[in-house]
Amino acid sequence: MLPIIGLVLLFFFIFGVFVLHGGDLEPVIHAAPSEVATILGAGIAAMLIGNDMSTVKGVGAGIGKVFKGPKWHKQDFLDAIFLVSRLMKILRVDGPVALEAHVESPDSSAIFGEYPRIVADHAVLSLITDTVRLMVISSGNLNAYAVEEVMDAAIKQHVHHASHPAHAIAALAGALPALGIVACVLGVVKTMGSIDQPPTVLGALIGSALVGTFMGVFMAYGLAEPIAGRLQAIVKEEAEMYHVIKQLIVASLHGHPQPLVIEAARVAIGEHNQPSFGEVFDGLRGK
């Protein structure tokens, strides 16, 4: 909702205030389609040159994510805590062999089946199953600090890859003003070819050329840069899920009591999604 409100306000304070102060949008409307096509088209072309296909596809998905918001919500974090806590309980009570069937075939596991949103996310599922698989292979004899180091590396790699679309949009934001100048220069070249025309014609041509500079700056700092910043923030917010899982597993391997394990996971969640201690503890009863 906030991005939509922001867009409405952006267009109002740029174009609406211009009109309210006696500005005429007709020259801008007349020149904008060709100028935007030149600037944005060149920017997209540069993005294709500088990125791989997965990043380019991620840009489209990332823009949609800016308007939809982060993937994970409070209930998803609760589900992650419940799932991993149950797996750690099986490890503690029944031993690592009892976990093998669950991590090797999570799609057919009764435990994983209770948390379909977790199972549907390949990266989150892999972080859980790959780490638990290490416990199974090592018969539970794993150094907690070594596991934490491996999980930190996996999380860092995921966040780095997930940040590529945001970086691509940020690079586009940096290029758009310069491409606006390019479009403006081309407009000036066109104007110089009509130098023998009357002032009214030359004025319209110069105005159209200046629209190129305006549109480049407007799209860069009004649209692309805020989108890139918000997308990067969403990537970091969604990464909280990985830190929750890491804290649960590492704290369990350290042999900490369950209240401390719960708290270690809970404090890794942002305030607006963070469940209370009582919500987590009550949800774990009977599991």
Measured on CA atoms in the order 125, 131, 137, 139, is the torsion positive or negative? Answer: negative
Q: Could you read off the pLDDT of 239-271 as tens digits, one per residue?
A: 999 999 999 999 999 989 988 999 999 999 999
pLDDT at 278: 86
> How is residue 148 written in tokens?
């934490």
Tell me, what's the pLDDT at 54? 93
Rounded to two decimals, the pTM is 0.87
Does the pLDDT of residue 199 top 80, yes or no? no
- 204-246 per-position pLDDT tens digit: 778 788 888 999 999 999 999 999 999 999 999 999 999 999 9
pLDDT tens, position by position, 169-178 = 999 999 999 9
In the predicted structure, residue 282 carries a pLDDT above the cut 90: no
**Average pLDDT of the segment spanning 151-179:** 95
Q: How confident is the model at residue 164 (pLDDT cuts 50, 70, 90)?
A: very high
**Contact by Cβ (8 Å): 70, 203:** no
Mean pLDDT, range 117-135, rounded to an integer:
93
User: What band does 45 get if pLDDT is binned at 50, 70 and 90?
Assistant: very high
